C-alpha cells in the first residue's frame, strides 16, 4: 500500500498511465515560465480613491476613501489551472460549460492542470473563464501560443530552422449571429427599442408588436415565393414602424438624465443605421453596414467561394511552418483589409510579439503566400515573399517550397472543425482577437499530442533521462532499443 499525503486518496500519478501523451506533455510544459510571464496581468491595480467631505472637531475636512491597493475579495484560482482549462477547451472543442463538467470526470485532464488528487467536482464556475480571458488580453493569449511552439522545439519535435520559413494565409472567423436580412434586423430593432423604452419608464403610444411579427412572416414568405415587390413593401412598412418608435423615444427622453439619454442614444443610432441601409444597397454616411444588433463589429467578407459567397465575421491571418505544419502566428484583422496589407503585422507577431522567437533568436526570412499577397514587397523588405506570380524568377528550391503552400488549407479546416474557429461566441472585437489566438494554441496542443504518440517510446525514454531517472532510463533504453528493435517501432497508446 502506497503512502500519500492524503491517506484516503491515491495520487493521480498512481491512477493514470504516465506514458499517456497528455501526461507526458504536462511534465514538459513550462508552467513556471507561463505563470511568471502572466503575473503582471493579475496584479491588483492601485486606485486613486475618491474625495469625500467630512467634518471633525476642527471643522470641515476632505477624506480620500478607497485609495491604494485593495486586498479584499476572493483569492484567485491557480494560474496553471486556468491556463490548462483554456488549452483543453480549444484542443478538444468544448464549450465552457462542457469543459468544466468533463474536467471533473477525466483524471488525465486533472493531472495536466496540476492536480495531485482526483476530484469529482467542477474546477471553477464557467463565468470565471470569461473573466480570465479578459484579464489575459491579446498579449496573454499570444504568450500561451508562443509557449506551445517553445515546447515543440524543446522536445525536438520540430527543428529550430523550420521556424525561419513560414506559410501565411487568411480566412474568415465567422461570428455567432443569424444570417442578416433587412426584415430580421428591422424587427430586432423594433423589439430592442421597445425594451429600452420600457426599461427607462418611457410610455409609448403603440409598440406594434403584433404587426411587426406579422410583417416579418410576410417578408420571409414573399422572398421564398420570389414576390420581391410585395417583400419590399413589407420591409418598407417595417422601416416606417422603427422610424416612428425611435422618433417618439427621442422626443420623450429629453426630460431624463444625461446618462440615460446617452444609453438610449446608442439604440437610436443603430435603428437609424438599419433604416438607412434597408432603403439603399450602399452604406450611408461612410458608415459600414450593421449586420447584427448585438455584434456591430461584424463585417461582410467575400473570399470567392461559390458554396459560401459571403461570410460574416472578421478576417484572421494564420502563419504556419513550411515543414511540420505547426502554427506560429494567428491574428484577427478588423476592417476587412487587403490580404497583402496584413502580412507586415502577421510577420511582426511571429518575430517580435512572440516571446519564444526572441528567446530562440529566430525570425522568419521567407514567406510562402498565395496571389492575394501580391504587391507588398516594398512594405516587407525584411522577408522574402514567394508566390506563383513570380514563377519565372523562382529557383528550383523556391518552386519546391511553393508546392507546400496549400498545406495550410487543411490546417484552417481543422481550426474551424476541431478547434472552434467556425463560430466565435466571444463578445466584441477583443473577443475575436482572443478567440483566433486560442484556437491556434488549441491546435498546437493537439499537434504536440500527435507528435508525442508518433515519436513513441524513444521520446519517452529520452524524457526519463532528462528528468533525473538516468540509471533506470539507461537500462530501459538498452532493453527496448537493442539492435533488434528500431527506434520508432514502439508507440505510445492512448489510455
Q: Are 21 and 494 contacting, i.e. CB atoms less than 8 angstroms apart?
A: yes
Q: Are 479 and 457 contacting, i.e. CB atoms less than 8 angstroms apart?
A: no
Q: What pLDDT, in 10s, does the model give residues 384-394?
A: 999 999 888 89
Q: Which residues contact 234 (CB under 8 A, 6 or more apart)?
A: 183, 215, 218, 219, 222
Q: Are 481 and 466 contacting, i.e. CB atoms less than 8 angstroms apart?
A: no
| Per-residue pLDDT at 220 exceeds 50 | yes
- pLDDT category of residue 487 using cuts at 50, 70 and 90: very low
Neighbours of 353 (CB within 10 A): 18
Spell out the SS3 assignment of the chain: CCCCCCCCCCEHHHHCCCCCHHHHHHHHCCHHHHHHHHHHHHCCCCECCEEEEEEECCEEEEEEECCECCCCCCCCCCHHHHHHHHHHHHHCCCCHHHHHHHHCCCHHHHHHCCCCECCCCCCCCHHHHHHHHHHHHHHHHHHHHHHHHHHHHHCCCCCHHHHHEEEEEEEEEEECCCCCCHHHHHHHHHHHHHHHHHHCCCCCCCCCHHHHHHHHHHHHHHHHCCCHHHHHHHHHHHHHHHHHHHHHHHHHHHHCCHHHHHHHHHHHHHHHHHHHHHHCCCCCCCCCCCCCCCCCCCEEECCCCCCCCCEEEEEEEEEEECCCCCEEEEEEECCCCCHHHHHHHHHHHHHHHCHHHHHHCCCCCEEECCHHHCCCCCCCCCCEEECHHHHHHCCHHHHHHHCCHHHHHHHHHHHHHHCCCCCECCCHHHHHHHHHHHHHHHHHHHHHHHHHHHHCHHHHHHHHHHCCCHHHHHHHHHHHCCCCCCCCCCCCCCC
- pLDDT category of residue 486 using cuts at 50, 70 and 90: very low
Most distant CA pair in the chain, distance: 95
Q: What pLDDT, in 10s, does the model give residues 245-267?
A: 999 999 999 888 898 999 999 99
CA distance 25 to 19: 10
Q: What pLDDT, in 10s, does the model give residues 57-68?
A: 666 667 676 666
CA distance 83 to 31: 9
CA distance 329 to 168: 9
447-468 burial, b at 16+ Cβ within 10 Å, e below that, comes to: bbbebbbebbbbbbbebbeeee
| Per-residue pLDDT at 221 exceeds 70 | yes
What's residue 43's pLDDT? 78
Neighbours of 307 (CB within 10 A): 4
By residue count, the chain amounts to 495
What's residue 57's pLDDT? 60
Tell me the Cα Rg of the chain.
Answer: 28
CA distance 70 to 337: 43
Higher pLDDT, 322 or 463: 322
| Per-residue pLDDT at 490 exceeds 70 | no
CA distance 406 to 120: 45
pTM of the model: 0.85
- pLDDT category of residue 363 using cuts at 50, 70 and 90: confident
What contacts 24+ positions apart, CB below 8 Å, involve 326-329?
326/149, 326/152, 326/158, 326/162, 326/444, 326/447, 327/145, 327/411, 327/440, 327/443, 327/444, 327/447, 328/149, 328/163, 328/166, 328/354, 328/357, 329/145, 329/166, 329/354, 329/440
CA distance 304 to 287: 24
| Per-residue pLDDT at 426 exceeds 90 | yes
Mean residue pLDDT across the chain: 86
Amino acid at each position: 500500500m502506497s503512502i500519500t499525503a492524503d491517506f484516503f486518496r491515491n495520487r493521480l500519478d498512481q491512477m493514470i498511465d504516465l506514458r499517456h501523451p497528455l501526461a507526458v506533455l504536462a511534465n514538459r510544459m513550462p508552467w513556471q515560465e507561463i505563470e511568471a510571464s502572466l503575473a503582471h496581468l493579475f496584479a491588483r491595480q492601485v486606485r486613486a480613491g475618491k474625495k469625500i467631505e467630512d467634518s471633525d472637531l476642527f471643522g470641515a475636512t476632505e477624506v480620500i476613501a478607497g485609495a491604494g491597493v485593495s486586498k479584499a475579495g476572493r483569492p484567485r484560482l491557480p494560474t496553471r489551472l486556468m491556463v490548462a482549462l483554456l488549452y483543453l477547451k480549444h484542443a478538444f472543442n468544448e464549450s465552457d460549460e462542457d469543459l468544466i463538467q468533463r474536467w471533473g470526470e477525466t483524471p488525465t485532464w486533472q493531472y495536466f492542470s496540476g492536480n495531485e488528487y482526483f476530484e469529482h467536482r467542477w474546477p471553477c464556475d464557467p463565468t470565471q473563464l470569461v473573466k480570465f480571458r479578459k484579464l489575459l488580453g491579446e498579449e496573454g493569449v499570444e504568450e500561451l501560443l508562443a509557449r506551445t511552439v517553445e515546447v515543440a522545439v524543446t522536445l525536438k519535435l520540430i527543428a529550430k530552422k523550420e521556424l525561419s520559413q513560414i506559410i501565411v494565409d487568411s480566412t474568415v472567423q465567422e461570428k455567432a449571429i443569424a444570417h442578416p436580412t433587412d426584415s430580421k434586423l428591422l424587427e430586432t430593432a423594433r423589439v430592442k427599442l421597445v425594451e429600452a423604452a420600457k426599461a427607462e419608464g418611457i410610455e409609448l403610444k403603440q409598440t406594434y408588436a403584433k404587426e411587426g411579427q406579422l410583417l416579418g412572416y410576410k417578408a420571409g414568405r414573399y422572398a421564398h415565393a420570389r414576390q420581391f415587390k410585395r417583400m419590399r413593401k413589407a420591409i418598407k412598412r417595417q422601416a416606417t414602424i422603427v422610424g416612428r418608435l425611435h422618433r417618439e423615444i427621442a422626443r420623450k427622453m429629453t426630460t431624463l438624465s444625461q446618462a440615460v439619454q446617452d444609453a438610449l442614444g446608442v439604440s437610436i443610432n443603430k435603428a437609424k443605421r438599419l433604416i438607412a441601409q434597408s432603403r439603399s444597397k450602399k452604406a450611408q454616411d461612410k458608415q459600414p453596414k450593421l449586420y447584427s444588433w448585438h455584434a456591430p463589429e461584424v463585417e461582410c467578407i467575400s473570399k470567392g467561394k461559390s458554396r459560401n459567397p459571403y461570410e460574416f465575421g472578421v478576417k484572421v491571418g494564420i502563419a504556419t511552418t513550411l515543414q511540420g505544419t505547426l502554427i506560429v502566428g494567428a491574428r484577427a484583422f478588423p476592417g476587412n483589409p487587403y490580404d497583402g496589407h496584413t502580412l507586415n503585422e502577421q510577420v511582426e507577431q511571429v518575430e517580435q510579439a512572440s516571446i519564444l522567437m526572441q528567446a530562440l533568436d529566430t525570425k522568419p526570412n521567407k514567406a510562402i503566400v498565395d496571389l492575394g499577397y501580391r504587391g507588398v514587397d516594398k512594405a516587407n523588405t525584411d522577408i522574402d515573399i514567394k508566390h506563383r506570380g513570380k514563377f519565372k524568377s523562382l529557383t528550383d528550391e523556391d518552386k519546391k517550397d511553393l508546392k507546400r503552400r496549400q498545406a495550410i488549407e487543411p490546417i484552417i479546416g481543422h481550426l474551424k472543425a476541431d478547434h472552434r474557429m467556425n463560430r466565435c461566441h466571444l463578445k466584441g472585437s477583443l473577443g475575436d482577437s482572443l478567440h483566433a489566438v486560442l484556437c491556434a494554441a488549441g491546435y498546437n496542443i493537439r499537434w504536440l499530442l500527435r507528435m508525442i504518440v508518433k515519436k513513441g517510446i524513444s521520446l519517452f525514454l529520452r524524457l526519463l533521462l532528462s528528468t533525473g531517472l538516468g540509471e533506470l532510463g539507461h537500462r530501459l533504453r538498452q532493453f527496448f532499443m537493442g539492435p533488434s528493435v528500431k527506434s520508432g517501432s514502439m508507440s505510445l497508446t492512448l489510455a
